[in-house]
Amino acid sequence: MPELVVATPELLRRVSAGAVLEFMRASAAVTVTDVMAATGLTRATTIAVCEDLVRRGWILELENQREFGGYRKGRPARRFELNERAGVVLGMDIGYSKVTVVVSDLRGKTLGRSSSPFQAADLGSRERIAFIDGVAGDALDSAGAEARQVLAVCAGVAAPVDRHGEVVATQEFWGLFDLGLRPALMQARGWTVLLENDANLAALGDRWKGAAAGIDDVVVILASERLGSGIVEGGRLVHGTRGSAGELAYLDLVEGVGDTYGIAHLARTWAAEALATSIPTALRAFQPGKVEAGQVFAAAAQGDAVALGIMERLADRMARVVGTVATMLNPELVVIGGGVADSAHVLLAPISKRLAAFTATPARLAVSPLGDSIVTVGAVRCALDYVERNSLDLALAVPATPA
């Protein structure tokens, strides 16, 4: 039987504080009545929580202001607002070849950003951690923020992460992300670091600020270099026993697919293969092996036969991928995300047209508007969720300032 959780007064305080902060994150100035309506808390509890959060520096109580030019009996309603600069969170996208770090305030607004490729592919764990720390420092500098203001960090990696926040290193490639980042940054910076699979964070990010906003059953497929997916079912992110829910390695066994290479990789590879022949194509304006996906998409838009052929192959392949996902998970929406998303809109119609051949339960398709920031957006959301759940345990480095 599942372990019962006793609703102690302390637990209720934490849950209430988290609920109030979550509401205020997405709101401007609010009254006690507004908070009650959004959270379901009683008036007495709402006032107690708000006053506690004011004392701790998380929210600000604004000056009472009567309506200009009018008169109202009684005391004006107390108004509160999130102290959005009380601290910052970091969202990291740690890829095989590049690191991107975003600094966000407590509303999720980006304050600074830094991105840099690893200087060498064969760096050891210690060198990679030092490099990641340096990129984080650059991001903080660009935001005008200090390391002591960081309340939480979430890092997305291209490997499964289990329920304890540990990388599942059962494959050689996944092992490249088993760096010991969490204890290293805790020791060096005092930061709490949350690890999560990058596709899972993409699902969180797109459901927060992308095409899947407000949709409870969605699969987000990162589709640029390698295919991976994050699953939201009933409004909750699905992890699986060892964090590999959404892993698409089974595509090796799917007819017409055979591997997990993504749209950008395949477009580049198939363009290079065409250029190695004598077929006339506008792609010859580029060197073999140097043609990027965006250039293939652009050539197809101009009617180039080779580029159009590549688009047809991509549409057929992705229809098979989406078809398997739709059959197994039956989501309302499948979102194509990642850096290739900016070009992938033209694939939606041909993929959708083919879906009926591969599944009896086709899903609606969309492309994420978040582009290559989709993982860091999700990482910021994950870090903010942690901050809200643990606000009563976190000490703010920046004191509250009066409105």
| Domains of the chain by residue range | 9-82, 88-204+376-393, 211-369
Q: Helix and strand tally (H, E) in the chain?
A: 12, 13
Mean pLDDT lowest among 33-47, 55-69, 92-106, 124-138: 55-69
Instruction: Provide the percentage of residues in the chain whose pLDDT is more than 70.
Output: 94
Predicted local distance difference test score (pLDDT) of residue 72: 54
Q: Please list, in sequence order, all residues whose beta carbon lies within 8 angstroms of the beta carbon of residue 232, skipping any fewer than 6 positions away.
A: 203, 204, 207, 212, 215, 216, 217, 218, 219, 220, 238
Domains 88-204+376-393 and 211-369 share a fold: yes
Predicted local distance difference test score (pLDDT) of residue 89: 98
Predicted local distance difference test score (pLDDT) of residue 215: 97
SS (H, E, C) 138-160: HHHHHHCCCHHHEEEEEEEECCC
How far apart are the two ends of the chain, measured CA to CA in Å?
A: 50
* Rounded (10°) CA dihedral 314, 315, 318, 319: -150
What is the arithmetic mean of pLDDT over 32-45?
95
Predicted local distance difference test score (pLDDT) of residue 398: 61
CATH 3.60.15.10 is the classification of domain 88-204+376-393:
no
| Residue 207 pLDDT greater than 80, yes or no | yes
Per-residue pLDDT of 337-355, as tens digits, reads 998 888 889 999 999 999 9
Question: Which listed CATH number (3.30.420.40, 3.40.50.2300, 3.30.1360.120, 3.40.50.280) goes with 211-369?
Answer: 3.30.420.40
In angstroms, what is the C-alpha Rg of the chain?
A: 24
Which two tokens mark 383? 């870090």
Predicted local distance difference test score (pLDDT) of residue 129: 94
Torsion sign across C-alpha atoms 157, 162, 166, 167: negative
| Residue 314 pLDDT greater than 60, yes or no | yes
CA pair distance 383, 397, nearest whole angstrom = 17
Predicted local distance difference test score (pLDDT) of residue 290: 81
To the nearest whole number, what is the mean pLDDT of the chain?
91
Per-residue pLDDT of 158-202, as tens digits, reads 999 998 888 898 888 888 888 999 999 999 999 999 999 999 999
Per-residue pLDDT of 214-242, as tens digits, reads 999 999 999 999 999 999 999 999 999 88
Question: Which listed CATH number (1.10.10.10, 3.40.50.300, 1.10.1270.20, 3.20.20.70) goes with 9-82?
Answer: 1.10.10.10
Per-residue pLDDT of 61-76, as tens digits, reads 998 754 444 445 556 7
Per-residue pLDDT of 245-298, as tens digits, reads 999 999 999 999 999 999 999 999 999 999 999 999 999 988 767 888 999 999
Predicted local distance difference test score (pLDDT) of residue 374: 97
| Residue 50 pLDDT greater than 70, yes or no | yes
CA pair distance 338, 367, nearest whole angstrom = 9
- Predicted confidence band of residue 210 (pLDDT cuts 50, 70, 90): very high
Predicted local distance difference test score (pLDDT) of residue 400: 47
